[in-house]
Amino acid sequence: MDFRILGPLEVIEDGRPLALGRLKERLVLAVLLLHANEFVSRERLIDELWGVSPPATARKAVNVYISKLRRTLARNGHDPIATTDGGYRLVVDPDLLDADRMRSLVARARARMADGESETASRLLQEALAFWRGPTLAGLALESFGRDEVAQLDELRLTVFMDRIDCDLAQGRHEQVLGELHVLVREHPLRERLRAQQMLALYRADRQADALDAYQHARHDLMDELGIEPSESLQRLQQGILRHDPALEAPAGTAGVNGLAPPPVTPLPTPTADVVHGVSSRRFRPRRWQLALAALVILAAATSAAILSTRAGATPHVVPNSLVRLDPRSGKIVSVTPVGVEPGPIAVTPSAIWTVNFGARTVSRYDLRTHSVDQKGGFPIRPYGIAADHDGNVWVSSEASVITRIARGSGGTSAGPLYFSHTQIIRLPRPGAGSLALGGGYLWVIVGPHTAPGDNNRLTQVSLAHGQPVRSWQLKGDTGAIAFGDSAAWVTTGYAGVGLLNVIRPGAQRPESVRLGNDNLSGALAISVGEGGVWVITWGTNGGIGPGSPQALLEFDPDTLQRVKRIPINGRGLWALAAGGGSIWVAAASNSSPLNSSVIQLDPRSGRIIRTIPVGSPNHAITCGIAATNDAVWVTVGDANCDLNRE
């Protein structure tokens, strides 16, 4: 039995995840695994489950959760949860907990780094990183000290990334790490170690101007966010780049940029191909043209910073058939990138944003590093839904009962075509494949809209390990929307004026379901899980949307399945939904024109509208898809409408 906390909480037995019960039971297990083989008091569990306001029955409830976990985890008469005075201890073999195995690999890697064996250390660190399937205990929100313990593990993940990049730089793999560094710097703009690694990699790739530009970006962000200048080590690196310091070409150069003692100045190399630890040294004594180039580099960096400052105050113009990036903090439009015709669903990976383009029957990949767009066509009938994992693999559904897996490419300098050259076809039972979600080691696929009456009530579970369907459920009513979160798949269905929210947890024998409400809600258009709830956009009266058919945003408790909020958003056509970055985001059309669209940002706790962000235009552009991360909200803007059923 393997225990996994580096990502969504999972317990794997014989290659399949166990059903771990409802939210509170999984929270108890999460705390016990964070302190595997250690004593955890009952009071600590109460704090993590309810915070400062536990119910009067909290102690009894914890006992019930422990009892249920024992039934789930016990095998052959062995109970892995030991009871001590006032607390519990979960006994876990270190080889069966992903966090312990990861820490062991990191310790071995750092020992190799200390011995100068960067190649072996890089391989061990890569093995350690492979244990992470996403943020630690993704989807579970602890209420007390557990938050800090989760943050420590996520911080360790970033540190391991940086250690591995140091090893790769020492081995001369500066070209290969640049794409990864651009993404990490974007996600963690105030991390000076990442900035230093990015500058060094650019310099070693003969991109001195870009390296100096990266320093200016770092300085701008530090001054803007914290009001401080870059650290001494980062300033030393900038000066070293300006004077072409030969120490930056040696593996020891990485130590200098990470805040350690600067390496001693070595004599300038002669114009021969000296090799230090397998890294070719290419720079020679500066000539006059090189000194002139250095002056131009300084001028270019200053000019680039001025242009950046000018552009920062301008709002890009939204055009039809584009991917729009919003700043979740300010609500401002950051960028507009043309993609395909009538783009709809969005999938986000660390290196790219993917969109399904209904009008062009294609999928687009927007590269976050190069800002280029590649497209892939040739899907059976047309692509419909899309999902992606943290490693960059993408799955696209088609209404011909087919899933196309676009695997992560490797090598080369043009990532787009490499992605499109690695594909795998997964065939599903008929009648077809529609929207899909990814989670728990599976793809969860509902059928497409173009099916005969009575056929569009299926949910298929596809194993990622084997690339094959493993189970199919027949749900009550026609399927509407699907999402995965809080360790479960969530599907909306509707029939005869009744709307249902269905939840299927990995390992469960049958789905649970609850009515959307008693207010004539016949189904749902969109669903998202996050920010502590399950969020649903309903169809309006008689299955319509817009001013004549008032819709609503509903919140459900993922543990009790009870409806928590009903937020009316009248006079608008609500199209798409995303939970992330501390807010709920809804793509909507205004009451004055169905094509004058906007993005509505809501507070998940109060349901209050924070701001409405105009996106699109009154005549020719409308939002059709939305996705949210901590640092960006991505919106697809079509040319006419979001009629997903149109051929």
By mean pLDDT, which of 59-63, 151-155, 586-590 is the weakest? 586-590
**Dmax over Cα atoms in the chain, in whole Å?**
83
Greater confidence (101 vs 310) lies with 101
pLDDT in tens, 287-340: 333 433 343 343 333 333 333 333 444 677 888 889 999 998 888 999 999 998
pLDDT at 371 over 90: no
pLDDT in tens, 461-518: 888 878 888 888 888 888 889 999 888 899 998 887 788 999 987 667 788 999 987 6
Other Cβ atoms within 10 Å of 204 Cβ, number: 22
- Produce one character per residue of 472-505: b if its CB has 16 or more CB atoms within 10 Å, e if not: ebebebbbbbbbbbbbbbbbbbbeeebbbbbbbb
| Strands 498-504, 512-515: pairing kind | antiparallel
Give the residue-averaged pLDDT of 431-448.
84
pLDDT in tens, 18-47: 888 888 899 999 999 999 998 989 888 998
Give the residue-averaged pLDDT of 625-635.
91
pLDDT at 65 over 50: yes
Helix (H, G, I), strand (E, B) or coil at 458: strand
The residue behind tokens 């207010």 is 519
Greater confidence (603 vs 568) lies with 603
Instruction: Give the pLDDT score at 355.
Output: 93
Q: What contacts 24+ positions apart, CB below 8 Å, involve 393-399?
A: 394/347, 394/349, 394/354, 394/363, 394/419, 395/426, 395/436, 395/438, 395/443, 396/356, 396/363, 397/433, 397/434, 397/435, 397/436, 397/445, 397/448, 398/433, 399/432, 399/433, 399/434, 399/448, 399/449, 399/450
Greater confidence (522 vs 152) lies with 152
pLDDT in tens, 186-244: 889 999 999 999 999 999 998 999 999 999 999 988 888 788 889 888 999 999 999 88
pLDDT in tens, 581-612: 889 999 886 544 544 678 999 999 898 999 98
Amino acid identity of residue 216, one-letter, is: Q
Rounded CA separation 634/325 (Å): 5
Instruction: Give the pLDDT score at 160.
Output: 93
Confidence of residue 453 (pLDDT cuts 50, 70, 90): low
Query: Chain centroid to CA 283: how far?
Result: 40
Return the CA Rg of the chain: 26
Tell me the β-bridge partners of 84: 87
- State the DSSP string of 462-511: EETTTTEEEEEEE-SSEEEEEEEETTEEEEEEEETTEEEEEEE-TT-SS-
Q: Directed axis angle between helix 42-50 and helix 23-34, to 10°?
A: 130
pLDDT at 140 over 50: yes
Using CB atoms within 10 Å of the CB of residue 351, give its burial: 0 to 12 exposed, 13 to 18 middle, 19+ buried. Answer: buried
pLDDT at 417 over 90: no
> All domains of the chain, ordered by start, with CATH?
1-170 (1.10.10.10), 172-262+287-314 (1.25.40.10), 322-375+463-638 (2.130.10.10)
Structure tokens at 80: 């892995």
Other Cβ atoms within 10 Å of 610 Cβ, number: 14
Per the CB < 8 A criterion, the answer to whether 425 and 407 are in contact is no
Give the residue-averaged pLDDT of 563-575.
79
Structure tokens at 292: 């002139």
Instruction: Give the pLDDT score at 548.
Output: 54
Confidence of residue 529 (pLDDT cuts 50, 70, 90): very high
Instruction: Give the pLDDT score at 588.
Output: 82
DSSP state of 112: H
Per the CB < 8 A criterion, the answer to whether 366 and 347 are in contact is no
Instruction: Give the pLDDT score at 199.
Output: 93
Angle at 613 between CA 608 and CA 617, to 5 degrees: 140
Mean pLDDT value across the chain: 79
Rounded CA separation 414/410 (Å): 10
Instruction: Give the pLDDT score at 16.
Output: 86
Give the residue-averaged pLDDT of 398-402.
79
Q: CB under 8 Å to 232, separation ≥6 — which residues? A: none
pLDDT at 407 over 90: no
Nearest Cα to Cα of residue 527 among 477, 560, 471, 485: 485
By mean pLDDT, which of 49-53, 382-386, 570-574 is the weakest? 570-574
pLDDT at 379 over 80: no
* Torsions phi, psi for 124 (to 5 deg): -65, -40
Per the CB < 8 A criterion, the answer to whether 564 and 555 are in contact is yes
